[in-house]
Structure 1
């Protein structure tokens, strides 16, 4: 994204450096990022009249939880290739790099978020490969781990992200999701790994619980793969041996009556 400029001719990286404050991240003080303030005027980068600061100007709860987890459990990411999906300002990818990830890629659809990512990565002395664009409709890149912070805030996006994460699992890529239990989080697909109380965007600084979850395959597909066939009547999954015993219990009285053995 070197040399990228907005429609108004602004250099996003230079504008971000000049119009934000460098602050340690609440709950993740090891990392500093360029943070919006009341007079930042970051809305000018988007070239629209909405004067609220963009989403990437803040640390969101899911990203905070993932960043905290990587720094506290560096063995989960050290030496691995990681993709930070929907990276925003780069907090999760920076934490992964600080924790010893061999390669960190970070993707976002907003060119200004990519500019913020690059500025923040340089500030923290880490190298991150930035990917600008919507990659969730594609095959996953060659990584070992995908980290997803706060991408289940909208139903349609959540469905697309879920499909991408399933392609990651099919390719043998592990997936971690950070989220403060938002409405469209598919909880039935998740296994809780860790939980933190962190600040969240839009909560006026009050802490909320946010989980780090391992993304899991659909229950039906996973259980069938493990040899647990479906009970068609109840919809439950049972091992083959248990199903045979149930069939025997149903048929035995009928056979006894036919053979007059009771």
Structure 2
């Protein structure tokens, strides 16, 4: 549990009083993740704490709405991943990677540039009794990829070119997003829509709770 203690120490060093705790996902109860405690400090943070958060984004301590929806989608439709080599891009807390493994993927590669995201994904995979491979560099991955999954990576419009890069790298791409209100990419079609929430709940506006799932064709 040394890795988990290191994650706990890192988190508490950024936000005093914050910790990771096992959390069953309300929209995907088959999966339990180490996430930021639901009663995390919500009072006004000191300027020094705000700066630490800005310097050390803690997105890996949440299960974002789109990740929860995409994970549940894979568990309901295991044929999308069965026996396939799956790359989960921007894995964050690891929810989609774990769902793919539970749904019967032949191999799952969790990819993220943040070493803390990879570390928590590894611990969350172990918590759910599965194993995933870890990768920090998308471009260095060797061998064919049969499916790329990506949830909550389009919050920054500068990330949109990834939609084209995914198509060049994998046989099929599955994307979930709640931030992009206008999705105009003919190579993708919407296949599902679901209202969800981020865990722990950030009380986001309704527009960010409606998750759309897109499949390449």
TM-score, normalization by structure 2: 0.78
Partner of 1:119: 123
Partner of 2:203: 204
Q: 2:7 aligns with which of 12, 28, 49?
A: 12
Q: 2:103 aligns with which of 75, 99, 106?
A: 99
Asked if the contact 1:64–1:198 (Cα under 8 Å) also holds between the matched residues in 2, the reply is yes
State the SS of the aligned residue for 2:33: strand
Partner of 1:152: 154
Q: How far 1:62 sits from its partner (Å)?
A: 1.9
Structure 2, unaligned runs of 5 or more: 12-17, 42-50
| In structure 2, C-alpha distance between the alignment counterparts of 1:164 and 1:32, rounded to whole Å | 31
Asked if the contact 1:140–1:164 (Cα under 8 Å) also holds between the matched residues in 2, the reply is no
Q: Provide, for residues 145-181 of structure 1, a one-character-per-residue CA deviation record: whole Å limited to 9, x for no partner.
A: 111111111121222x123113125xxx111111125
Asked if the contact 2:195–2:210 (Cα under 8 Å) also holds between the matched residues in 1, the reply is yes
| In structure 1, C-alpha distance between the alignment counterparts of 2:36 and 2:57, rounded to whole Å | 7
TM-score, normalization by structure 1: 0.66
| In structure 1, C-alpha distance between the alignment counterparts of 2:141 and 2:118, rounded to whole Å | 21
Q: 1:61 aligns with which of 62, 65, 71?
A: 65
Asked if the contact 2:91–2:97 (Cα under 8 Å) also holds between the matched residues in 1, the reply is yes
Aligned residue pairs: how many?
198
State the SS of the aligned residue for 1:49: helix
| In structure 2, C-alpha distance between the alignment counterparts of 1:154 and 1:140, rounded to whole Å | 27
Counting strand residues as a fraction of each chain, which structure ranks higher?
A: 2
Asked if the contact 2:20–2:34 (Cα under 8 Å) also holds between the matched residues in 1, the reply is yes
Q: Provide, for residues 72-97 of structure 1, a one-character-per-residue CA deviation record: whole Å limited to 9, x for no partner.
A: 11122111111101000100010011
| In structure 2, C-alpha distance between the alignment counterparts of 1:162 and 1:53, rounded to whole Å | 23
**Which structure carries more relative contact order (alpha carbon 8 Å, separation 6+)?**
2
